[in-house]
Amino acid sequence: MKYSKVTIHEQFKENPFVEKAIQDIRIVKKTQVIRPKNRDEIQMITSTDGEITGYTAFTRFIEVDEERFAKVYLSQFASFWELSRAAIRVFSYILSVLKPKQDSFIFKMDDCLGHTKYKHKKDVLSGLGNLIECNIIARSNYDWEYFINPLVVFNGDRVAFTKMYVKKKKDKEKSDINQLDLFQQEALELSEQGHKNIG
């Protein structure tokens, strides 16, 4: 098995896979019809001739990820073809620590060694490096945290996750704009005070 070094791979502040995931996750709108269980509560709609033309029902539109709650998505299964034995074992550990609706995980070397039954860190690090090369995970700015590629593996509903991510990003952009406005306002006030003090 060829050793694959983890530290040669780029580190990221945010999950590098999410932008592509937002574009690629297929959202399907489905209609859910809710009818009362008691037939006496169902209202019939009749025409002027007394012919029944319909029944009442509550309709709810929901958005779902067609691959909801699957751990590994078949559309990205080719990512696993190049994995080494060590990478598959480390990936098994990752699945065991992956929390619902999270795009990152905390990596604990001792726990991973126990899970994979490896005795040497080198084997685990080689597995991590291979997972990074295959774009299944990515390094974060912290040595103990990694991002997962939600197009390949995710624990939960990716639609809800992507909506939350987009909302969080918009809120941050709005916050950044507000901070810039505040900075510009302070600069303007200081500038006006400077003109008053000169005159």
54-96 pLDDT, tens digit per residue, is 655 555 544 544 443 434 555 567 777 888 999 999 998 998 8
Its domain, for residue 139, covers: 1-25+67-162
Q: Are residues 73 and 150 in the same domain?
A: yes
Q: Are residues 14 and 86 in the same domain?
A: yes
Q: Are residues 17 and 33 in the same domain?
A: no
Q: Are residues 92 and 137 in the same domain?
A: yes
Q: Are residues 71 and 125 in the same domain?
A: yes
Q: Are residues 114 and 48 in the same domain?
A: no
Q: What is the pTM of this model?
A: 0.52
pLDDT digits (tens, 9 = 90+) for 133-192: 999 899 999 999 999 888 877 776 554 445 555 556 666 666 655 555 655 666 666 556
Place of tokens 């480390």: 90
181 within a domain of the structure (yes/no):
no
Q: Is the pLDDT of residue 46 over 70?
A: no
Look at strands 11-12 and 137-140 and give their pairing.
Answer: parallel
189 within a domain of the structure (yes/no):
no
Alpha carbon 128 to chain centroid distance?
Answer: 20
Tokens of 161: 């996750």
179 within a domain of the structure (yes/no):
no
Q: Are residues 109 and 39 in the same domain?
A: no
183 within a domain of the structure (yes/no):
no
158: left (phi over 0), alpha (psi -120 to 50) or beta: alpha
54 within a domain of the structure (yes/no):
yes
Neighbours of 133 (CB within 10 A): 16
126 and 7 Cβ atoms separated by less than 8 Å = no
Number of domain units in the chain: 2
Q: What is the mean pLDDT of residues 29-43?
A: 56
Q: Are residues 21 and 74 in the same domain?
A: yes
Q: Are residues 77 and 121 in the same domain?
A: yes
pLDDT at site 57:
53
pLDDT at site 174:
62
158 within a domain of the structure (yes/no):
yes
Q: Are residues 21 and 111 in the same domain?
A: yes
Residues in the chain: 199
91 and 83 Cβ atoms separated by less than 8 Å = yes
